[in-house]
Structure 1
Amino acid sequence: MRRVLLVCELEEDGKEYLSKNYDLLMAGAATGECDELTEVALAELMASHQPHILLVNSSPATARVLAASDCLELVICARGTPNNVDLNYCRDKGLLLCSTPSRNANSVAEFTIGLMMAATRQIPQSMEAIRDHTIVLEGDPLDGGSKDVTWIHSDLPYIPYERYNSLEIAGATLGLVGLGFIGGLVAEKAKALGMEILVYDPYQNKEALASKGYRLVEFQELIEGSDVISLHAKETEQTRHIINTEVFKTMKPSAYLINTARGSLVNYDDLRQALKSRQIAGAAVDVFPYEPLRSNDPLINTPNLTMTPHIAGASRNVVQHHTRMVMRSIHDFENGEKPKFAVF
């Protein structure tokens, strides 16, 4: 019986199939552990179990790890991009490598829309003003409440309805830098909300986008014409710091920047200065140049910056999605076919 080493999360039906049809060993995330396995720990498991198939998430599948099993034929990385797998080793040894592309695409797209709403409607700022008592009054709650609920009082430093008067996204222009799978989903959702869609992506076809109601434009036209700019480009030398001081200078002063893609796309020092000087209205980011942030990072206290700790892809449905793709790859492999989700 062929052997499988499973060290990533998988739905129970997937585990059941593997346990019935293979000599299955589960460890790490597959058994509910939070921490990913170290290179040493994973190499030891590979050496002792000698699996034909390795199912991994973000644990380091280095050359040392992969070489520890003389029987290895198939590596499945339950991530969109298998950055933790030694691709050169897999190629050199003729190993089949599969991934789970876009497993969290809808999760990230929904989160992007959520960040856009939070930033443009100043939801975090207004919530914080209540929690730190800036716009609340001392004393006990009024019995029965007031007749006209307006959150206006002479003892408050400002009127919230006026301070947080903000942008409706219906009718606003969304500029998407990159239109891969996630960017495409964001475009669909934003259009359904009534937004106009501009796209900058050298690999897209103008006529194809026009048929969806999107407009393919040059980078500078997108920067100057968008009310909200959302980043969905890949991390390359060409896209590093594609958003910088020069870009902020030509954005609308009322515009917002959203980044749920990669921290390297934005020069965060430039972003901080643009927000402090009110060069742009605000920003919302889920990714950073390094993670986790340190307590003394100046970004933490930057005004009009909504931040989340790289959780855009964290939905309960992601494991369901990648289980479906993992099992498809295994079934294709069993049938002697090239898996649909093969990297090579």
Structure 2
Amino acid sequence: MSKNVKPFVVKTDANMDMLRHVQEELDTVARSFTTPDDSESTLIEHVPDADVLVTCYAPVTRKIIEAGGNLKGIVMWGVGYDHIDLVAAGKHGIPVVNCPNYGSQTVADHAFALLLNLARRVGELDREMRQSEWLWPHRKYMGTDVHGKTIGIIGLGKTGAAMAQRCVGFGMEILVHDPYVGKIPEDLKRAGFASLENIFDKSDFISVHCNLTCETENIIDASLLARLKPSAFIINVARGRVIEEPALIEALKNSRIAGAGLDVFSEEPLPADHPFLSMKNVLLTPHFAYFTREADIRLDKECLQAIKNILAGNPLPSLVDISNQAMPANDIFT
């Protein structure tokens, strides 16, 4: 490439309009192109000349990575990177960088909103009141207090810790499971470590905040769900495949747990005939936990900085540890 030609950034996920808040600044350091679709063949066509590939939901497969002979890095516009073949990236020496700082508080807000909505049955009451014009305090509409209840937090990274802070403010007891965190932060004095089994035995609420890796896929299985109280709720704003979805469906269908608040699913978009869509004890949002005006701007800025770091050969603070977190090859990594 001529020294006068700017580096080339290829963006997937055209519908996400990634980097729109910083496009002018991006244009000063690189040329950029957004692929018309996210099929493997389209990405293979456009990635050979790319210095950086920016992606959100598009599967980045082994074949795509192998076609990117000029790639200096892959940037995840967001936090989760389970759709990127980390094994292939590592084999070809291509760093994978995510954006873990922009949305921790935002996602925790959403998780706690799901918790409060479940506890006080806000969604159900709203639907029923619109149909009936008014409701009387029948026991079937009775909610549950949050203060004094126990929450189990699975994953104490930035978002899990932010969720725990909100729970402290509401006077909840907090149990934490995260084998990669050695110490509870000072501002979480009500929190303590516990095994998964102990957490599921004791908790009134479970909130999931861990990345999807080979260790965490289906870590919440039928045996753990069976330990929950019938009055317990489970909230997931992490990744759908952290929970064994068929087991969760059975637990909800048979009222073995009280309900679930879900922002993520094993398959996205959620199929039109999915059982969750007809369950009254499930509160659903379409992977929107990160989606606020402020977080959108922060994400673009964090992503742009990652691109600049890759192009300049600077240290990469949010470099994904490929050796520890790579998912095993699956059907999207062909």
Q: TM-score per shorter chain, which class? A: 0.7 to 0.9
Higher relative contact order structure (alpha carbons within 8 Å, sequence separation ≥ 6): 2
- C-alpha displacement of 1:100: 1.7
SS at the partner of 1:230? strand
The TM-score with structure 1 as length reference comes to 0.77
Instruction: Flag structure 2 segments of 5+ consecutive residues without an equivalent.
Output: 322-334
Per mean C-alpha deviation after superposition, the further-off stretch among 297-306 and 63-72 is 63-72
Matched residues in 2 for 1:59 and 1:272: separation?
27
Letter in 1 for 2:47: M
Structure 1 residue 303 displacement after superposition: 3.9
Count of matched residue positions in the alignment of Structure 1 and Structure 2: 313
| Correspondent of 1:7 among 4, 8, 11 | 11
Partner of 1:146: none
Structure of higher CA gyration radius: 1
Kept in 2: contact 1:2–1:52 (CA 8 A): no
Separation in structure 2 between the aligned mates of residue 71 and residue 272 of structure 1, nearest angstrom: 45
Distance in 2 (alpha carbons) for counterparts of 1:203 and 1:262: 18
Is 1:233 equivalent to 2:176 in the alignment?
no
The answer to whether the Cα contact below 8 Å between 2:176 and 2:193 also exists between their aligned partners in 1 is yes
- Which amino acid in 1 is paired with 2:109? E
Distance 1:111 1:188 in 2: 13
Does the CA contact (< 8 Å) of 1:120 and 1:282 recur in 2? no
Distance change in 2, residues 1:26/1:245 (3 Å): closer
Tell me whether 1:124 sits opposite 2:101 in the alignment: no
Deviations 1:135-172 (A, max 9, x none): 33xxxxxxxxxxxxxx56xxxxxx23643221121222
SS in 1 for 2:53: strand
Report if the CA contact (8 A) 2:10-2:50 is conserved. Answer: no
2:243 is equivalent to residue 266 of structure 1:
yes
Q: CA deviation at 1:214?
A: 0.9
Q: CA RMSD in A?
A: 3.1
CA distance in 1, matches of 2:120, 2:280: 15
| Alignment equivalent of 2:172, drawn from 195, 218, 237 | 195
Is contact 1:176-1:198 (8 Å) kept? yes
Shift of 1:175: 1.3
The residue that corresponds to 1:95 in the other structure is: 94
Deviation at 1:129, TM superposition (A): 1.2
TM-score (norm 2): 0.79
The alpha-carbon deviation at position 84 of structure 1 amounts to: 3.9
Measure how far apart 1:86 and its partner are.
4.1
Give the drift of 1:307: 2.2
CA offsets 1:55-88 (integer angstroms, 9 cap, x no match): 3333344454445555433332323233444434
In the other structure, the counterpart of 2:47 is 46
Shift of 1:224: 2.4
Rounded Cα–Cα distance in structure 2 between residues aligned with 1:291 and 1:56: 16
Query: What is the identity, as a one-letter code, of the residue corresponding to 2:120?
Result: R
Q: What is the match of residue 231 of structure 2?
A: 254
CA-CA distance at 1:13 after TM superposition: 5.8
> Letter of the aligned partner of 2:76 in structure 1?
C
Find the residue that maps to 1:160 and give its secondary structure: coil
Residues 58 and 254 of structure 1: is their aligned pair in 2 closer, same or farther, counting only changes over 3 Å? closer
Change (3 A) 1:239 1:81: closer
1:114: Cα distance to partner? Answer: 0.9
CA spacing shift, 1:193–1:79, aligned 2, 3 Å: same
- For 1:144, the equivalent position in structure 2 comes to none
Given the superposition, is the C-alpha separation of residues 6 and 249 from structure 1 closer, same or farther in structure 2, using an over 3 Å criterion?
A: closer
1:248 Cα shift? 4.1
Matching residue of 1:108: 107
1:342 aligns with 2:319: yes
Counterpart CA distance in 1 for 2:310 and 2:247 is 48
Match of 1:320? 297
Residue identity opposite 1:191 in structure 2: V
Cα gap change, 1:282 to 1:6, in 2 (>3 Å): same
- The offset of 1:186, in angstroms, is 0.7
Task: Choose which of 184, 187, 201 in structure 2 pairs with 1:224.
Answer: 201
What is residue 172 of structure 1 aligned with on the other side? 149
Q: What are structure 1's unaligned runs of at least 5 residues?
A: 29-34, 137-150, 153-158
CA contact (8 A) 1:6 1:26 kept: yes
